[in-house]
Structure 1
Amino acid sequence: MSEFKVAVVIYEPIDGDMARAYRGLKTALEFKQAGDDVLVQFDGSGVDTLAAISNADHPMNGLATALADNITGACGYCATSHKVADAIEEAGWTLLSDAGGEASNRKLMVEGYQILTF
């Protein structure tokens, strides 16, 4: 049984501080490797990050692959407004819409997750 329930939410755009997005994914991987209940979702400008790292040629694609079972998807509203919804869906990720078309942070809290943002 997991000791922790952690939701890592990536808001950082890939063309912003890539180290911040990397750190968030590495943090999620650390929790996963420890056997904790961890999930990753991309929101805001972070949807650009998911679209980019889904490309096999991207240096952070290995992290996306290692966390594939933990990535819940990306905010549907944000992905559409950032024009990356098609790329995200084509990569096999889910567009989250549980809060009126957007990803829900409240849902994470209700489910008992501690939210870490990057």
Structure 2
Amino acid sequence: MAGEPQPDCLFCKIVAGEIPATIVRETETTVAFRDISPQAPTHVLVIPRVHHPDAASLAAADPGAAADVLREAGEVAAQEKVDGTGYRIVFNTGPGAGQTVFHAHAHVLGGRDLQRLV
């Protein structure tokens, strides 16, 4: 069921503490951790604690949690000190867009020129 932890979901396991991650921020509704394959000097994933397969389904089912993810993405950018130089928040939705873990998540990217990053 949407919103419930999924036993085969990597990010649900990180939320539950079953799989280690380099966590940089946590709130009641979100967890932020470093990407294991960074595409920029700062590459942090911000995920909701609730399971939804992608950003669109999260926003439709739980707009408050979607807002929390966006708010935390901004907090991560400030904490990582990329808010002054610019950063990107990316939600990949579906395999054709590069989504490989089907638990809604935002990529916070910064620390280098991102004008050519697609």
Same fold (TM over 0.5): no
Hey, which of these two has a bigger chunk of helix by percent?
Answer: 1
Give TM-score scaled by structure 2 length: 0.32
